[in-house]
């Protein structure tokens, strides 16, 4: 009997979307996540059980998904991003007092 394995290939596909794009997701616990994708950067703001994370990535990729279903507006992203920055700023100021 010969050894068998699975060979997977990856294909890069160009979407019909112009950068920047704004995405909105919700995880299985109902926590919001907004993403801004620009040329070379991915900024993610994610609410979690014990706080908020802001992550900036310069190396990233996306799996094939129905982007139209997850698109949001720049205003929505900016609102969540601003709230996250305010929350972080308030947390830092409270700890310094």
**1 is a domain residue:** no
**7 is a domain residue:** no
**8 is a domain residue:** no
What pLDDT digit, counting tens, does each position of 82-92 carry?
999 998 888 88
Q: What is the pTM of this model?
A: 0.80
Q: What residue numbers bound the domain in which 67 lies?
A: 21-96
**43 is a domain residue:** yes
pLDDT reported for residue 9: 85
**4 is a domain residue:** no
pLDDT reported for residue 95: 59
What pLDDT digit, counting tens, does each position of 8-62 carry?
888 888 888 899 999 999 988 889 999 999 999 999 999 988 889 999 999 988 8
Residue 97 confidence (pLDDT) above 70: no
**70 is a domain residue:** yes
**15 is a domain residue:** no
Q: Using an 8 Å Cβ cutoff, are 49 and 11 in contact?
A: no
**66 is a domain residue:** yes
Residue 96 confidence (pLDDT) above 60: no
User: How many domains does the chain fold into?
Assistant: 1
């Amino acid at each position: 009997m010969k050894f068998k394995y699975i060979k997977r290939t990856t294909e890069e596909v160009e979407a019909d979307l112009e950068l920047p794009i704004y995405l909105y997701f919700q995880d299985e616990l109902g926590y919001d996540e907004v993403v801004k994708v620009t040329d070379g950067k991915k900024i993610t703001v994610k609410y979690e059980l014990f706080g908020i994370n802001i992550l900036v990535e310069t190396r990233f990729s996306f799996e094939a998904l129905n982007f139209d279903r997850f698109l949001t507006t720049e205003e929505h992203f900016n609102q969540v991003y601003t709230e996250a920055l305010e929350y972080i700023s308030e947390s830092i100021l409270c700890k310094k007092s």
